[in-house]
Structure 1
Amino acid sequence: MKMPSFLDSLPPRSFFFCFLLLPLLLLLLLLVPSSSSSSSSTSSNSVNKVTMSIYYESLCPFCADFIVNHLVKLFQTNLISIVNLRLVPWGNAWIKPDGTFDCQHGNDECVLNTVEACTIKIYPDVAQHFKFIHCLERLTLENRHNEWFDCFHMTGLSTLPMDCYKSGNGKSIDQKYAKETAQLNPAHRFVPWVVVNNQALQEDYQNFMTYICKAYKGSMKPDACRSLSTRTYYDTKINSFHPVCYVDEAKNLTLLTTNHQIKE
């Protein structure tokens, strides 16, 4: 006696649906490894990210130019996808014996350093706090830094960083940045001072993209890395002038101002 098979027991319509579902199941099986591979690639990028730290001060025109016209290329080329970008707004400032701060470009710079530090704290996502800092530094280049408060509106961010500033929390962030800057090895001689994976780029800081691409150990380098030269600071002749704000200039300026006040 012939045993009825499973297929024989199915109605014609059910058999038709099974026939349609089979290709879909095969397609899903093919997609799963692809998705898993993509996830693995993303995870690899995160592990291999290059850490880039920028030590700067808000009213140094050379810092502003670097942020507005050079550092922004990280985002324009999507090189940011392989970079852990850290912005440290302290620069050539210092803490006086009474605990107050002195800044190379006056009290306005001390205020704006703290505002930027608070913005980084309140908006830890680099894309968010960078657009605010980029806005403020653009105003610095245009000699309009007094309009900095408008950057909250122009970037679509709330004014929560001002609560951080007014509460005094910003001062503790400044102190942390001051300590980190003081512990740099080698010690910073000027700003902007750029460090890529613990390597100070010194006078070759504008060539930061090349250093990032050389330091990145991931399997999939961004397209931006393919068109860069392999020139480094150590391969080039050092010029006598560099677009930077020197530490010694900050201290000398303060001494001149103090001496002038004493004579008066």
Structure 2
Amino acid sequence: MFALLLIASALVAATNAAEADPVKIGVYEESFCPGCRYFATRQLAPTYEELRDIMDVYLSAYGMAQEWPDGEGYKFECQHGPEECDGNQIHDCVYKYVPDQDLQIAFFICFMSQSAEVKTPWQDGEKCAGELGLDWETIKTCASSLEGQILHHEAGEEFRSFDPDPIGVPYITINGVTDYIAYVDLKRHVCNAYTGPETTSL
């Protein structure tokens, strides 16, 4: 009888977990922003490793950049220099051409783990793509073309659509709600937002 109760409890827990929506996390970043690098390596990396089954992560690179039309495309001025604009376009192309969430996040964390003393976005992107088995030629072609400019512009339009305006990056949302404290305590905020059954990880 006790064994049957255990099995029934396990089935209920599994059903509840399947029915619970994952926590939707939006991460709006800049490729050479020190705070974004802290968040990627010290908050997102360990939290995602532990709680990936209940996390639905959306990544977008633009931040506090400025832009103006240039023919069919755009020119950008990024907060941490022109290399950041290149890095942002690399990120946005990865987010388009690599649909797998695990690989998107792995690329983001890898890129943000590289040294920023000398900004080398193309080398960093190629290194991380190679380590993860991603198609670097497709990503590079996208990021260095009009397509990359348009993706970067679209990321900017989304970033500027928030009300009130973001005060900086990383700009983090939990289930669509701005959450500045998640920058330093992501795991707790993911756990608090999760509506499924408690597990040993939570």
Instruction: Output the TM-score relative to the length of structure 1.
Output: 0.64
Would you tell me which structure has more helix in proportion to its own residues?
1
CA contact (8 A) 1:139 1:145 kept: no
Structure 2 counterpart of 1:113: 88
The one-letter amino acid of 1:199's match is V
CA offsets per residue over residues 114-135 of structure 1, 9 Å max, x none? 0011011111111111111211
CA contact (8 A) 1:201 1:208 kept: no
Q: Equivalences for 1:1-264 in 2 at 5 Å?
A: 40-41=15-16, 43-45=18-20, 48-77=21-50, 79-96=51-68, 98=70, 99-141=74-116, 143=117, 145-146=119-120, 147-148=123-124, 149-159=126-136, 160-203=138-181, 205-218=183-196, 220-225=197-202
The one-letter amino acid of 2:198's match is K
CA contact (8 A) 2:43 2:185 kept: no
* Alignment CA distance shift 1:37-1:165 (3 Å): same
Tell me: higher relative CO, structure 1 or 2? Use CA pairs within 8 A at least 6 residues apart. Answer: 2
- Give the unaligned 5+ runs of structure 2: 1-7
Determine what percentage of the aligned residue pairs are the same residue. Answer: 25
Shift of 1:39: 7.1
Q: Distance in 2 between matches of 1:204 and 1:70?
A: 8
Root mean square deviation of aligned Cα: 2.4
Structure 1 residue ranges, 4+ long, deviating more than 3 angstroms after superposition: 33-43
- Give the unaligned 5+ runs of structure 1: 1-32, 226-264
* Alignment CA distance shift 1:150-1:198 (3 Å): same
Q: Distance in 2 between matches of 1:188 and 1:166?
A: 27
* Alignment CA distance shift 1:222-1:115 (3 Å): farther
* Alignment CA distance shift 1:93-1:140 (3 Å): farther
Q: Distance in 1 between matches of 2:36 and 2:160?
A: 18
CA offsets per residue over residues 196-229 of structure 1, 9 Å max, x none? 11221225521222221111112x234332xxxx
Say which one has the larger Rg. Answer: 1
* Alignment CA distance shift 1:217-1:163 (3 Å): same
Q: Distance in 2 between matches of 1:134 and 1:96?
A: 30
Structure 2 counterpart of 1:29: none
The one-letter amino acid of 1:82's match is I
Q: Distance in 1 between matches of 2:106 and 2:139?
A: 14
Q: Distance in 2 between matches of 1:135 and 1:53?
A: 18
What is the DSSP-based 3-state SS (H/G/I as helix, E as strand, rest coil) of the residue aligned with 2:25? strand
